[in-house]
Amino acid sequence: MQRLVSTHLDRERAIQAIDIGSYDVNGSYRTLFDSPHWRYTGVDLEKGPGVDVVLSSPYRYPFASRSVDVILSGQAFEHIEFFWATWLEMMRVLKPGGLVFLIAPSRGPEHRYPQDCWRFYPDGYRALAKFGRCELVEVHTDWEPHPDPGSGPWGDTVGVFRSRALGLRERFELALARRALQAQAVLK
Protein backbone atom coordinates (compact mmCIF):
# COMPACT_ATOMS: atom_id res chain seq x y z
CA MET A 1 0.00 0.00 0.00
CA GLN A 2 2.86 2.36 0.76
CA ARG A 3 4.17 1.96 -2.81
CA LEU A 4 0.71 2.63 -4.26
CA VAL A 5 0.27 5.79 -2.20
CA SER A 6 3.72 7.17 -3.05
CA THR A 7 3.43 6.26 -6.75
CA HIS A 8 -0.13 7.35 -7.51
CA LEU A 9 -0.94 10.25 -5.16
CA ASP A 10 0.27 13.85 -5.11
CA ARG A 11 1.01 14.92 -1.52
CA GLU A 12 0.21 18.55 -2.44
CA ARG A 13 -3.27 17.83 -3.85
CA ALA A 14 -6.24 17.75 -1.46
CA ILE A 15 -7.92 14.35 -1.35
CA GLN A 16 -10.61 12.58 0.60
CA ALA A 17 -9.61 8.94 1.17
CA ILE A 18 -11.67 6.17 2.74
CA ASP A 19 -10.24 2.87 3.95
CA ILE A 20 -12.68 -0.03 3.66
CA GLY A 21 -11.80 -2.55 6.35
CA SER A 22 -9.80 -0.16 8.51
CA TYR A 23 -10.09 -1.98 11.85
CA ASP A 24 -6.51 -2.15 13.10
CA VAL A 25 -5.96 -5.87 13.62
CA ASN A 26 -2.23 -5.90 12.80
CA GLY A 27 -1.47 -2.45 11.42
CA SER A 28 -3.19 0.51 9.80
CA TYR A 29 -2.88 2.44 6.56
CA ARG A 30 -3.79 5.69 8.35
CA THR A 31 -0.11 6.61 8.81
CA LEU A 32 0.37 6.58 5.03
CA PHE A 33 -2.09 9.48 4.74
CA ASP A 34 -0.17 12.03 6.80
CA SER A 35 -0.14 14.87 4.25
CA PRO A 36 -1.87 18.00 5.61
CA HIS A 37 -3.84 18.08 2.33
CA TRP A 38 -5.29 14.59 2.79
CA ARG A 39 -8.33 13.56 4.78
CA TYR A 40 -8.43 9.87 5.75
CA THR A 41 -11.55 8.12 7.06
CA GLY A 42 -11.39 4.57 8.39
CA VAL A 43 -14.52 2.53 7.62
CA ASP A 44 -15.45 -0.89 8.99
CA LEU A 45 -18.32 -2.99 10.34
CA GLU A 46 -17.15 -2.84 13.97
CA LYS A 47 -16.17 -0.03 16.28
CA GLY A 48 -12.52 -0.23 17.25
CA PRO A 49 -9.01 1.06 16.65
CA GLY A 50 -8.65 2.73 13.26
CA VAL A 51 -12.40 3.01 12.65
CA ASP A 52 -14.03 6.42 12.16
CA VAL A 53 -17.27 5.28 10.51
CA VAL A 54 -19.08 2.08 11.50
CA LEU A 55 -21.21 0.60 8.73
CA SER A 56 -24.41 -1.33 9.30
CA SER A 57 -23.82 -3.17 6.01
CA PRO A 58 -20.75 -3.76 3.83
CA TYR A 59 -22.97 -2.96 0.84
CA ARG A 60 -24.10 0.59 1.73
CA TYR A 61 -21.83 3.53 2.49
CA PRO A 62 -22.86 6.81 4.14
CA PHE A 63 -21.01 8.88 1.54
CA ALA A 64 -22.50 10.91 -1.30
CA SER A 65 -22.17 9.63 -4.84
CA ARG A 66 -18.97 10.74 -6.58
CA SER A 67 -17.57 12.32 -3.37
CA VAL A 68 -14.39 10.34 -2.62
CA ASP A 69 -11.02 10.71 -4.36
CA VAL A 70 -9.34 7.52 -3.14
CA ILE A 71 -10.66 4.24 -1.76
CA LEU A 72 -8.22 1.81 -0.28
CA SER A 73 -8.94 -1.67 0.94
CA GLY A 74 -6.30 -4.11 2.06
CA GLN A 75 -6.94 -7.64 3.22
CA ALA A 76 -10.70 -7.12 3.59
CA PHE A 77 -12.32 -8.25 0.31
CA GLU A 78 -11.81 -11.93 1.05
CA HIS A 79 -14.08 -11.53 4.09
CA ILE A 80 -17.01 -9.96 2.21
CA GLU A 81 -19.58 -12.55 1.14
CA PHE A 82 -20.85 -10.59 -1.87
CA PHE A 83 -17.79 -8.51 -2.75
CA TRP A 84 -19.31 -7.57 -6.13
CA ALA A 85 -22.07 -5.64 -4.31
CA THR A 86 -19.42 -3.85 -2.24
CA TRP A 87 -17.48 -3.12 -5.44
CA LEU A 88 -20.42 -1.34 -7.06
CA GLU A 89 -20.96 0.70 -3.89
CA MET A 90 -17.29 1.70 -4.02
CA MET A 91 -17.75 2.78 -7.64
CA ARG A 92 -20.80 4.83 -6.63
CA VAL A 93 -18.91 6.98 -4.10
CA LEU A 94 -15.73 7.34 -6.16
CA LYS A 95 -15.27 10.57 -8.11
CA PRO A 96 -14.59 10.34 -11.85
CA GLY A 97 -10.83 9.96 -12.11
CA GLY A 98 -10.69 8.67 -8.53
CA LEU A 99 -8.54 5.70 -7.58
CA VAL A 100 -9.11 2.40 -5.79
CA PHE A 101 -6.11 0.64 -4.22
CA LEU A 102 -7.19 -2.96 -3.66
CA ILE A 103 -5.06 -5.62 -1.99
CA ALA A 104 -6.55 -9.07 -1.46
CA PRO A 105 -5.02 -12.49 -0.90
CA SER A 106 -4.18 -14.72 -3.84
CA ARG A 107 -3.29 -17.62 -1.54
CA GLY A 108 -3.04 -18.44 2.13
CA PRO A 109 -4.69 -20.46 4.87
CA GLU A 110 -8.25 -19.85 5.94
CA HIS A 111 -8.53 -16.93 8.38
CA ARG A 112 -12.15 -16.42 9.33
CA TYR A 113 -13.00 -12.87 10.39
CA PRO A 114 -15.90 -13.67 10.62
CA GLN A 115 -15.68 -15.64 7.38
CA ASP A 116 -13.05 -16.19 4.70
CA CYS A 117 -14.72 -16.51 1.30
CA TRP A 118 -12.37 -15.65 -1.57
CA ARG A 119 -8.93 -15.49 -3.15
CA PHE A 120 -8.16 -13.13 -6.05
CA TYR A 121 -6.05 -13.22 -9.23
CA PRO A 122 -5.29 -10.66 -11.97
CA ASP A 123 -8.18 -11.90 -14.14
CA GLY A 124 -10.52 -11.34 -11.20
CA TYR A 125 -9.37 -7.72 -10.99
CA ARG A 126 -9.86 -7.35 -14.75
CA ALA A 127 -13.41 -8.63 -14.27
CA LEU A 128 -13.98 -6.12 -11.44
CA ALA A 129 -12.82 -3.28 -13.70
CA LYS A 130 -15.16 -4.41 -16.45
CA PHE A 131 -18.07 -4.87 -14.03
CA GLY A 132 -17.51 -1.43 -12.45
CA ARG A 133 -16.84 0.23 -15.81
CA CYS A 134 -13.51 1.57 -14.70
CA GLU A 135 -9.90 1.27 -15.83
CA LEU A 136 -7.46 -1.21 -14.34
CA VAL A 137 -4.28 0.86 -14.14
CA GLU A 138 -2.06 -1.88 -12.75
CA VAL A 139 -2.35 -5.38 -11.33
CA HIS A 140 0.12 -7.93 -10.10
CA THR A 141 0.17 -11.05 -7.97
CA ASP A 142 3.10 -12.22 -5.89
CA TRP A 143 3.11 -15.84 -7.00
CA GLU A 144 6.31 -16.90 -5.28
CA PRO A 145 6.25 -17.77 -1.58
CA HIS A 146 7.83 -15.23 0.73
CA PRO A 147 11.18 -16.36 2.22
CA ASP A 148 9.96 -15.62 5.78
CA PRO A 149 8.40 -18.89 7.04
CA GLY A 150 5.58 -16.99 8.79
CA SER A 151 4.64 -15.18 5.57
CA GLY A 152 5.49 -17.99 3.17
CA PRO A 153 1.98 -19.34 2.58
CA TRP A 154 0.56 -15.86 1.95
CA GLY A 155 0.36 -13.99 -1.33
CA ASP A 156 -1.57 -10.96 -2.51
CA THR A 157 -3.02 -9.55 -5.67
CA VAL A 158 -2.55 -5.79 -5.80
CA GLY A 159 -4.50 -3.53 -8.12
CA VAL A 160 -5.05 0.12 -8.90
CA PHE A 161 -8.32 1.09 -10.57
CA ARG A 162 -9.34 4.49 -11.96
CA SER A 163 -12.98 5.46 -12.28
CA ARG A 164 -14.13 7.29 -15.34
CA ALA A 165 -16.91 9.71 -16.07
CA LEU A 166 -19.97 7.71 -17.02
CA GLY A 167 -22.87 8.79 -19.13
CA LEU A 168 -26.36 8.96 -17.70
CA ARG A 169 -27.33 5.58 -19.16
CA GLU A 170 -24.25 3.84 -17.69
CA ARG A 171 -24.83 5.43 -14.27
CA PHE A 172 -28.47 4.32 -14.37
CA GLU A 173 -27.51 0.75 -15.34
CA LEU A 174 -24.95 0.55 -12.54
CA ALA A 175 -27.43 2.01 -10.04
CA LEU A 176 -29.98 -0.66 -10.98
CA ALA A 177 -27.38 -3.40 -10.69
CA ARG A 178 -26.15 -2.03 -7.35
CA ARG A 179 -29.66 -1.91 -5.88
CA ALA A 180 -30.50 -5.41 -7.08
CA LEU A 181 -27.27 -6.77 -5.58
CA GLN A 182 -27.81 -4.90 -2.33
CA ALA A 183 -31.33 -6.35 -2.06
CA GLN A 184 -29.99 -9.87 -2.68
CA ALA A 185 -27.16 -9.41 -0.17
CA VAL A 186 -29.49 -8.08 2.51
CA LEU A 187 -32.13 -10.77 1.92
CA LYS A 188 -29.62 -13.65 1.79
- Residue-level pLDDT, tens digit, the chain, 188 residues: 999 999 999 999 999 999 999 999 888 999 999 999 999 999 999 999 999 999 999 999 999 999 999 999 999 999 999 999 999 999 999 999 999 999 999 999 898 888 999 999 999 999 999 999 999 999 999 988 878 877 778 899 999 999 999 999 999 999 899 889 888 877 65
Closest-CA residue to 44 (of 114, 107, 99): 114
- The predicted pLDDT at position 188 comes to 57
CB hemisphere CA count around 64 (13 angstroms): 5
CA distances from 89 to 1, 21, 114 (A): 21, 14, 21
**Every domain of the chain and the residues it spans:** 2-187
Fold of 2-187: Rossmann fold (3.40.50)
Closest-CA residue to 123 (of 141, 99, 111, 150): 141
**CA-CA-CA-CA dihedral for 78, 134, 94, 113, to nearest 10:** 0
